Structure 1
Amino acid sequence: MSLTETTLKAMKPKEKTYIVTDERGLYIEVFPTGGMIWRCRYQLNGKTEKLTLGKYPALTLKNARIKRDHALSAAALGQSPARQKQLQKVAAADATTVEEFTAKFFKDVQEKDRTDNKQIHRYFDNDILPYIGKKAMKEVTTEDVRSIIWRKKDHGFDAAAGQLRGLLKKLCDYAVTCGLLNFNPVLALPMRHVRKVKSRDRSLEPSEIRLFLTAVYSSNIRRQFKVGLHLILLTMVRKSELLLARWEDVHFDVAEWHIPAENSKTGKPHIVYLSRQATVLFEELQVLAGGSELVMPGRGSLIKPFAHNAINCALKKSLQGQNVPAFTIHDLRRTASTILHENGWPTDVVEKALNHVMGGVRGVYNRAEYSSQRTEMLQFWADYIEKLLIDKNVILGRFGKTA
């Protein structure tokens, strides 16, 4: 029996997939989800082949019959419509550019692995796509990826070169999975030749903390960076958490800074209990923000934050000529952890303040927030830092108690 548009519109999904035939091999497949797909069967060299024509209602009954007729005509001439369609797919895939495949990679892989991909997007937008974005993915060579990685390495950014190597490997791994590459060209560049990863154990001594803050406030870097570096030390947060912070999350009335899940490395919301000194620093940043919704709006913009590397450069600039061994902003977190442990604060409280994920059985069963202990500890830490500065008559801000 021939199908009609009325019949098609009246079809309802069932618990199991079922088919309804039209004529001359054409039929429609109805799925439990409600989706409907046109297919047709035909004979070629004594064997039955099946061809998918398209989805209903995007492909109407009339047009489905036209596509069926074309398929039957091809089969009558000894050609396989199903095989031709497969070859067309391969040809289309062969023409896929790196830029096009990157969009698929983010959707299928990267965004499922992690929620915050801002930095990853920056690497692709600034260091990968401008150089090979228009190239067919199937034509990417070891020399292509080497030039991208070494461009960063030759400028002295070994860590970033390592990041690029990891991203390119992940991208090309997925290209191999999708059949666009026969082998991963990044494998010819071992990570040990790009960057020798060393576990960091740098922790500042009290005298170095004093020199660090004195140098920062005496330098000619932006006032926002001076206050921001000081605030990172006092609150023990990651730099990205401060650079992405918004005023709606800073609650002066209860002295709390709420870091939302999307800005947290753990993917979970985190509360920072603000010391008296940290509150004063936030108040200054609010004035410097000039009405922006961001705590630290970027240069010349009230709606975009600073690039993550900007505050790194500010630290490097402020320490030029100072007798302080090199350290990173992340080392400030290790410094706080080390000194707080030395002063008898429990590991669980310190780790919770650092917003670390606790592993093992302890991590499964310990759900305590330690709110009161963390509040007390962060005030102790801020007082400790202030005392280091006062002892040397260094005045960086007004931290007196408010009425």
Structure 2
Amino acid sequence: MSSKTNILFSTDREVQNLKAQSKRFTVKDKSNNGLFIEVKESGIKSWHYRYTLNGKQERLVIGRYPDISLKEARQIRDESASMVAKGLSPKKEKDDKKVGKSNTVLFKDYGERYLNEVVRKDRKNPYNMILCLNNDIYPFIGDLPLNQITVDKVREVIWRKKDQGYDSAANQVRGLLKRMLDYAVTLGMVQFNPVLSISARHVCKPKPRDRFLTDIEIKIFYTAVFSSRIYKARKYGLLLSLLTLVRKSELLNAKWEHIDFDSRIWLIPETKGDGKTGHSREMLVFMSDQVILILKQLKIIAGNEPYVFVGRKKGTQISHNAFNTAQKNVLSLTALPPFTIHDLRRTASTHLHEQGFNSDVIEACLNHTIKGVRGVYNKASYKDQRTEMLQKWSDYIYKTLDDAYLAWL
């Protein structure tokens, strides 16, 4: 590695102006002894602090620029120089923390790092993950040092949910712990992921869901919805879930700025990530006459609030469990077998297939990707077919429910 001994920097602008060359090189800070910036062939710049301790030269890698500013790098250099003056090695201290030898690295502290460095880069709203951490993980192992998270500790956390009868939730806890500790292994903070010793198939055996509502069940459920005492906006939400085929999270996050009544289009800019890629996709909902009327009623309720379904605090949407609670309260008024809000999507898909609509059009309304070679080459949006199908679907549901039950609209 070459060193630009005749070039110094003293300002952030000078650091910005350093350009990559055919070989990596380092440039010294004019104002701070031992602080360098390394410029790689790729253009990546990183801070280093070189110092001598006990007759040996050591180098501390501080981090990348501009993630760490010149001011921050100088501050870290000064703190490190103070350690060296006391006979302590900044590099060894960093390495010790990295491999989990420091008792100050608590699991909950590492968890916040994982959320910031991994989860929030891929998920706009990691609500469920944070809920799982706060309710099912941190109370039991959050205050333990990361290097003390053993197989036994992990098993206790997972089996707590199993013993409560929530096998699926236990498997979610296991999955989150595995991903978190995989990243800790990647960082070198632990040497082994203890979750790997606990097989997922021993925690929960997944059961394929096939629940959907028949015409009679649709009428029974929504008759109970209309006559129940739940908040009116929740009633609209439960009906929209069936009419639009959108996911519950997409209903919760719906904003008025994305709904165009003139073009009859509701834009969902970010949907649930694809199961295989983890990437979210934009989605369009072509609104039927009935959906437009419902949304206009919701607009009256929402007033000037940004979200379609208004939360308790100004500028927020309703809570994650609001529709679940409403659905369960209504379901308790009937003798219907249990089902979830997500099953309403399956209900719509099943009936639309039975009615002879094109499968690709239905999958497009569900915002599913077409699998295999056909998916690679079929990029059609089916706008006209989707518009016609969703209008016929709304007509069909309203006919099933009977106008008498829709008077409250």
* TM-score bracket for the superposition, by shorter chain length: 0.7 to 0.9
Structure 1 residue 35, shift from structure 2 partner = 4.9
- What's the counterpart of residue 273 of structure 1? 286
Q: Does 1:345 align with 2:349?
A: no
Q: SS at 2:205's partner residue?
A: coil
- What's the counterpart of residue 310 of structure 2? 297
Q: Does 1:31 align with 2:42?
A: no
- What's the counterpart of residue 395 of structure 1? 405
Indicate conservation of the 8 Å contact 1:234/1:378, yes or no: yes
Structure 1 residue 90, shift from structure 2 partner = 5.0
Q: SS at 1:315's partner residue?
A: helix
Q: Does 1:309 align with 2:317?
A: no
Q: Which has the larger radius of gyration?
A: 1
| 1:346 maps to amino acid | N
Indicate conservation of the 8 Å contact 1:212/1:319, yes or no: yes
Indicate conservation of the 8 Å contact 2:226/2:408, yes or no: no
- Select which of 377, 385, 388 maps to 1:373: 385
Of 176-185 and 265-274, more deviation after overlay is shown by 176-185
Counterparts of 2:378 and 2:170, CA distance in 1 = 38
- 1:194-230 CA-to-partner distances (Å, cap 9, x unmatched) read 3321111112111111111112112222222111000
- 1:272-327 CA-to-partner distances (Å, cap 9, x unmatched) read 011111111111212222432111112x3232222222211211110114232211
| 1:37 maps to amino acid | H
Gaps of 5+ in 2: 63-69
Q: SS at 1:308's partner residue?
A: coil
Indicate conservation of the 8 Å contact 1:20/1:28, yes or no: yes
Counterparts of 1:225 and 1:160, CA distance in 2 = 26
Counterparts of 1:273 and 1:171, CA distance in 2 = 39
| 1:270 maps to amino acid | M
Structure 1 residue 68, shift from structure 2 partner = 12
- Select which of 211, 223, 238 maps to 1:214: 223
Structure 2-normalised TM-score? 0.79
Counterparts of 2:236 and 2:405, CA distance in 1 = 13
Indicate conservation of the 8 Å contact 2:28/2:36, yes or no: yes
| 2:25 maps to amino acid | Y
Q: Does 1:17 align with 2:27?
A: no
Identity %: 40
| 1:342 maps to amino acid | E
Aligned length: 381
Structure 1 residue 347, shift from structure 2 partner = 0.8
- Select which of 58, 71, 81 maps to 1:51: 58
Q: Does 1:238 align with 2:230?
A: no
- 1:218-268 CA-to-partner distances (Å, cap 9, x unmatched) read 222222211100011000000110011111111112222111126676612
- What's the counterpart of residue 297 of structure 2? 284
Q: SS at 2:406's partner residue?
A: coil
Counterparts of 2:37 and 2:273, CA distance in 1 = 46
Counterparts of 2:372 and 2:193, CA distance in 1 = 35
Counterparts of 1:330 and 1:294, CA distance in 2 = 21
- What's the counterpart of residue 260 of structure 1? 269
Structure 1-normalised TM-score? 0.80
- What's the counterpart of residue 65 of structure 2? none
Counterparts of 1:131 and 1:295, CA distance in 2 = 37
